[in-house]
């Protein structure tokens, strides 16, 4: 009898537990407010699709077509000196040739100014633009800057689509980015990748190398197109690729938009970018001068060459000198000197402290306008 009571009690007890759990389950299922079913912030942004970013930027990315017509004097054999010796009076035949290039561009403001790459439209006699909508327009060249491989062209269009501008200084390695352009004249194409590196330098692509590196596919025709973040903001102008095959191999380079905007504004306001120039070749230096008691580091820039009749040579700077400071600002690298000097207007005089042997000297240089430097691609 005792065992029977225990069994009955056990059944009633667990039946009650079961009913309580069932009641609680029904209560929760009918009132979701009792628990937080929301997704973490990362998932709320719906990173599985970047459609919103594309829709806000793609209309402002255009296809750019440039053509150049030139005259070529006959076959190369007719230009041979030996041939000319015997056929001096033979009339020179000329042939008209047309060279076409394709690229991309980005509409930057309501006035119809478009940023693109200088190598896309340089020496072009005719520039055409095709909008995302398919509309075709003629474009005028406002100016270009060989040093950064950037150019500004302009279209006449009422209420053009404008791309939102981001801040390239806030980019982090690993950020997701989208490249939008017209590869191989295939039509507007969007590719996805990440920021592989920032501040890429010394690639021989432009003098002011400071590129965003990405593994988003960038191919011929992407030049001048947009590199955007997942929020639909322009953070770079696609400029070049590092490739052994001529096609994308996962190393694409874009000019940061902060730098590109400065260049664009200079071109719009002045028709060109004017930079200061010192006329030196230099390399970083970090020597230690040892005396009897102390070891004192010397931070400066070693001058390896000066340009004939350039500001540095005229100021008395010679190869082997070490520049310690310019206008009392320490010069720790060649890039630092370039950054300081290029911001100065031609004619500006600067005070330069150098170390020659172990003797410090103070010199004065008059800054000149920097000549354009052309790079092979």
Residues taking part in catalysis: 119, 149, 223
Residue 276's closest CA among 244, 312, 241?
Answer: 312
Say if CB 350 and CB 326 are below 8 A apart.
yes
Q: What distance in Å separates the CA atoms of residue 370 and residue 342, rounded to the nearest whole number?
A: 8
Q: What distance in Å separates the CA atoms of residue 309 and residue 302, rounded to the nearest whole number?
A: 19
CA end-to-end span of the chain, whole Å?
99
Beta bridge partners of 352: 326, 363
Q: What distance in Å separates the CA atoms of residue 92 and residue 120, rounded to the nearest whole number?
A: 32
Q: What distance in Å separates the CA atoms of residue 346 and residue 361, rounded to the nearest whole number?
A: 24
| DSSP 3-state of 103 | strand
Q: What distance in Å separates the CA atoms of residue 223 and residue 244, rounded to the nearest whole number?
A: 17
| b/e 230-262 (16+ beta carbons within 10 angstroms → b) | bebbbbbbbbbbeeeeeebeebbbbbbbbbbbe
Helix segments in the chain, DSSP class H: 2-30, 41-44, 51-57, 81-86, 118-121, 257-270, 311-315, 334-342
């Amino acid at each position: 009898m005792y065992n029977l009571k225990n069994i009955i009690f056990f059944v009633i007890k667990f039946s009650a537990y079961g009913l309580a759990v069932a009641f609680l389950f029904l209560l929760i299922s009918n009132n979701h407010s009792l628990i937080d079913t929301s997704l973490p912030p990362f998932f709320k942004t719906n990173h599985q699709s970047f459609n919103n970013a594309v829709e806000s930027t793609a209309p402002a990315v255009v296809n750019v077509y440039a053509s150049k017509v030139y005259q070529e004097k006959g076959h190369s054999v007719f230009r041979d000196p030996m041939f000319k010796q015997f056929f001096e009076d033979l009339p020179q035949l000329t042939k008209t040739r047309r060279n076409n290039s394709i690229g991309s561009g980005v509409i930057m403001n309501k006035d119809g100014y478009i940023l693109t790459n200088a190598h896309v439209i340089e020496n072009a006699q005719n520039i055409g633009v095709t909008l995302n909508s398919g509309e075709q327009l003629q474009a005028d060249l406002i100016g270009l800057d060989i040093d950064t491989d950037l150019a500004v062209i302009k279209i006449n269009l009422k209420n053009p689509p404008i791309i939102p501008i981001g801040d390239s200084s806030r980019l982090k390695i690993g950020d997701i980015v989208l490249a939008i352009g017209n590869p191989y004249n295939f039509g507007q194409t969007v590719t996805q990748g990440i920021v592989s590196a920032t501040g890429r330098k010394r690639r021989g692509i432009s003098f002011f190398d400071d590129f965003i590196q990405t593994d988003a596919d960038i191919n011929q025709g992407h030049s001048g197109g947009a590199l955007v973040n997942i929020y639909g903001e322009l953070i770079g102008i696609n400029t070049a690729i590092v490739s052994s095959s001529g096609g994308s191999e996962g190393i694409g380079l874009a000019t940061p938009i902060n730098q590109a905007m400065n260049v664009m504004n200079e071109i719009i306001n002045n028709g060109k970018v004017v930079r200061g120039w010192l006329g030196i070749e230099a390399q970083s230096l970090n020597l230690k001068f040892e005396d009897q008691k102390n070891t004192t580091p010397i931070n400066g820039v070693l001058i390896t060459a000066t340009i004939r009749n350039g500001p540095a040579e005229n100021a008395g700077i010679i190869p082997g000198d070490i520049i310690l400071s310019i206008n009392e600002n320490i010069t720790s690298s060649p890039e630092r000197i370039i950054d300081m000097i290029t911001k100065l207007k031609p004619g500006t005089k600067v005070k330069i402290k150098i170390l020659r042997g172990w003797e410090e000297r103070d010199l004065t240089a008059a800054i000149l306008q920097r000549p354009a430097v052309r790079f092979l691609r």
